[in-house]
Amino acid sequence: MEYRTLGRTGIQVSSLALGTDNFMDPTPAEECEKILKKAMSAGINLIDTGDVYADGEGERIIGKILKDNGQRQNVLIATKIDHGQRRPGFTLEEYDPSLGPNQHGHTRLNIIRACENSLKRLQTDYIDLYQLHRQSPNIPMDETLRALDDLVSQGKVRYIGCSTHPAWAVMESILISENKGYVRFVSEQPPYNLLDRRIENELIPVCEKYGVGIITWAPMAMGVLAGRYDDPDKFPEGSRAALRGGFYADRVTEKGIEVGRKFTKIAKDLNLTPAQLAILWCKDQPGITAPLIGPRTVEQLEPLLPVLEMQLDEETRKACDELKNFHCKKIVVIPEKDLKTRDVIKNFDCKIITQNSDGYGNAIIEGIKEVETNFLCIFNADGSFDPKYLKNMFNKLEGGCEFVFNSRYEGEGGSDDDTFLTLTGNKIFTFICNLLFRLDISDVLYTYVMGKTSAFKSLNLKEKDFRLCIELPVLAKFKKYKFISSPSYERSRLSGRKKVNELKDGFLILWCILKMFIFKKWKRKSL
């Protein structure tokens, strides 16, 4: 039986943790007791719950079971204080009107009150791991951390953590704790599975760097990887998608089901169930402390327990990874007179489009018209765009935004092609665009962009030349699309030459910005 160190602590936790979101909703009390006893007898010592699970009844039944069997000292209880919006009958974005103005969120007032209530329901005088259940973005993190620090000082809480927080929020909490001497987060609890690998981009590296354990939820992708779904619009009776809807149902997609079918075949060839393989894959990924398993019945739990003794071999890991590998269809737009380029790429697997009108913008516009896939990326042919960033961009798109704009001026970004004048001009125009249009991007003149094809097509781009790089993010903002910035490094071009006329092009860019600002101000219908 393998036990793993939780973050920068000295405590050891089992490589699988018991999630109890189903306790009392819909799992009845007698079955909850059987599940808990079975998990503990198998060596699982981390029990995860939350104050909104079954509106507090999940905590209450766990507390009763542990008190009755005298096993409190043999387990680690991890519970959560909700951000205050998750209530029966309400979405994550809705507030229950029955709640008072100070009865939700991670304020000092509500944290202390919620902790006292959890202690009563759990029938214990301390909580081993107290976690923030999602973010309360309007509440200062230093207020939240100070309240949690006081709870630790009082002995009511042993360790603190968070759940479903982005990497920047985890990093912010660490900085505040270090600067003010508050207790630090020891864990983060994000969604993670073969179909949702967003945390590999930023969260896992941050947690590994700063000693934060990762306890993941949804290792079976809401049952998609377990083979429970055949149709994204028809949910099996008893599934979370059918019972709860909302984000549970949203995660059931046609693409996910397709991957799930292939995943099921891999599991069968290994004499494993799809659920076993899904959890094993998650358990043995780099940086993961323990995935949560959330069975509704003992019958669902029992086949998962052997995973505690399994290890994921490299051959199986590669086979699973290949199911979500990044593949693309290539479209090359070539001016009619460019016979050399046409001759070079004719033997490659590319769709060649003859450009009807000159200009960089026209090439992109004509290429967009030909794209039939769900996503597209604008990729220059001179070799300056590094393809290693493609998968990272794609993963971020799957996180729920419409565009990812790469930046040479964030994080690991940089450029081998910038001059002092082009760098200065870019900084100035980026500042102006962010000021006028509230874009919140750091490199407005860089066209290394990936987005949803439908979003690209809806923009109805018009700029025929390099000014399209300004037009694209501004129109995306006008359309109220979600977009983010991501760092990338611009390499020295392998062919071609820079055609920038700093003075002339600078005036053209400035006029483009002013023109679109006027359009916005007068609410031009075409936009």
Q: How far, in Å, CA of 193 to CA of 182, rounded?
A: 32
pLDDT at 23: 97
Q: Which CATH superfamily is domain 3-223+282-311 in?
A: NADP-dependent oxidoreductase domain (3.20.20.100)
What average pLDDT does this structure show over 288-313? 97
pLDDT at 415 over 50: yes
Pick the closest to residue 360 from 500, 510, 503 (CA basis). 500
With a CB cutoff of 8 Å and minimum separation 6, the contacts of 507 are none
Where in the chain are all domains bearing CATH 3.20.20.100?
Answer: 3-223+282-311
Residue 82 half-sphere exposure, CB side, CA atoms within 13 Å?
Answer: 20
pLDDT at 474: 93
Q: Would you say 9 and 159 are in contact if contact means Cβ atoms under 8 Å apart? A: yes
List helix spans (H) across 438-526.
453-458, 468-478, 502-521
List helix spans (H) across 398-461.
420-437, 453-458
Identify the weakest region by mean pLDDT among 66-80, 83-97, 343-357, 494-508.
83-97
Considering the four listed CATH numbers 3.30.365.10, 3.90.420.10, 3.90.550.10, 3.30.2320.80, the one that applies to the domain covering 330-521 is 3.90.550.10
Q: Would you say 245 and 41 are in contact if contact means Cβ atoms under 8 Å apart? A: no
Neighbours of 58 (CB within 10 A): 26
pLDDT at 201: 82
Strands (DSSP E) found in 64-151: 76-82, 127-133
**Catalytically active residues, by annotation:** 53
Indicate the pLDDT class of residue 308, thresholds 50, 70 and 90. Answer: very high
Percent of the chain surpassing pLDDT 70: 91
pLDDT at 369 over 70: yes
Place of tokens 């494993």: 272
Tokens (6 digits) for 358: 């000159």
Peptide bond into 274 cis (omega under 30): no
Angle (deg, nearest 10), helices 314-323 and 254-269:
160
pLDDT at 91: 53
With a CB cutoff of 8 Å and minimum separation 6, the contacts of 344 are none
pLDDT tens digit sequence for 319-333: 998 887 656 678 888
pLDDT tens digit sequence for 264-297: 999 999 999 999 999 999 999 999 999 999 999 9
Indicate the pLDDT class of residue 180, thresholds 50, 70 and 90. Answer: very high
Place of tokens 């990093």: 171
pLDDT at 30 over 90: yes
Query: Any long-range contacts for 429-438 (C-beta under 8 Å, 24+ apart)?
Result: 429/470, 429/506, 429/509, 429/510, 429/513, 432/510, 432/513, 433/470, 433/473, 433/474, 433/513, 436/513, 436/517, 437/473, 437/474, 437/477, 437/516, 437/517, 437/520, 438/477
N residues, the chain: 527
Full-prediction pTM beyond 0.85? Answer: no
pLDDT at 95: 57
Place of tokens 């199911």: 323
3 state DSSP class of 15: coil
What average pLDDT does this structure show over 391-399? 80
Where in the chain are all domains bearing CATH 3.90.550.10?
Answer: 330-521
pLDDT at 355: 84
Identify the weakest region by mean pLDDT among 16-20, 160-164, 397-401, 484-488.
397-401
Q: How far, in Å, CA of 260 to CA of 240, rounded?
A: 17
Indicate the pLDDT class of residue 382, thresholds 50, 70 and 90. Answer: confident
pLDDT tens digit sequence for 99-147: 677 777 899 999 999 999 999 999 999 999 999 999 988 899 999 999 9
With a CB cutoff of 8 Å and minimum separation 6, the contacts of 239 are 222, 223, 228, 229
What average pLDDT does this structure show over 25-54? 96
pLDDT tens digit sequence for 224-255: 898 788 777 777 776 777 766 666 676 777 77
CA of 95: how far to CAs of 19, 83, 239, 331, in Å? 25, 10, 25, 47
